[in-house]
Amino acid sequence: MEIEKGFFKSLAYLKLPEYSNPIKTGILPNIKYLLSSYFLCFACIFATVFLILITDKLLVSIFGIESIFKELQLANKNRSNSFGAFTFIIVVLLVPILEELIFRLSLDLKRTSFAIAISILYFRFSGTSIIKFNFLNKYDIIRLVSTILIFIFIQLILPNDVLNRIKKYYYVWWFYGVAILFGAVHIMNFNNINYYILPIYFIYVLPQIIMGIFIGNIRIQRGFFWGIVLHSLINASSFVFN
């Protein structure tokens, strides 16, 4: 595949990310940029597998613990089978939309984006599942009302001048902080966490951190929609090879 001209040049943005409006261009250049991002991202993720395997082997031999990598494989397999016939749709379509709303929407540092992200984040982790929401369940109704109130509260109290200051002076920290947070959240996928080696778990979520960087890049360079599409492509590949 011929890499789009300027693709690698645009990745220089990652040296020192700063906020900019997405490039307005045609559908074909965006698709080329998407595919270029996808293949390079997947190559980087594949490279981290070797580091993860080496780390896992050392942990097993030094600490005598069960393989964390095997636990991760089992957790991914169980998650892939948890929604039955709808698993592919949820993993490839719904999850990318929700996770992009939570993590990448706020890369524009707008108050509404923050309100959406934080309220959805609360709703996601205040219950067992978004998919199994029940309007007849009193607790689920309280969750929904609380989510709406959180959205309104943030819209009212979050000062724009603080967001503008972050955008102007600290955007690199915000960009990479979101990517690392995206990876850190995936540590929750492990069932039995050995907290005395908790920092090492960040090696196991390096694929998600790399995803966060590449998706963040295309979200800024080409727009929020293309971030969702890249996320969906990566999830689809992970689903197939899982």
The helix-helix angle for 68-80 and 27-63 (nearest 10°) equals 130
75 lies in a domain? Answer: yes
Question: Are 213 and 32 a contacting pair, CB within 8 Å?
Answer: no
53 lies in a domain? Answer: yes
Give the mean pLDDT of 101-120. Answer: 95
What per-residue confidence (pLDDT) applies to 177? 96
Question: Are 163 and 111 a contacting pair, CB within 8 Å?
Answer: yes
What is the rounded CA–CA span in Å between residue 52 and residue 5?
33
139 lies in a domain? Answer: yes
Burial pattern 10-23, b for ≥16 Cβ within 10 A else e, equals: bbeeeeebeeeebe
Most confident of 68-72, 132-136, 166-170, 229-233: 229-233
Domain that holds residue 102: 33-241
187 lies in a domain? Answer: yes
Give the mean pLDDT of 106-131. Answer: 87
> 3 pLDDT band (50/70/90 cuts)?
very low
* pLDDT of 227 over the 90 cut: yes
What is the enclosing helix (H) or strand (E) of 174? Answer: helix 171-185
* pLDDT of 240 over the 80 cut: no
What per-residue confidence (pLDDT) applies to 117? 95
193 lies in a domain? Answer: yes
Considering the entire predicted model, what is its pTM? Answer: 0.89
The per-residue pLDDT for range 44-53, each reduced to its tens digit, is: 999 999 999 9
161 lies in a domain? Answer: yes
141 lies in a domain? Answer: yes
Q: How many domains does the chain have?
A: 1
17 lies in a domain? Answer: no
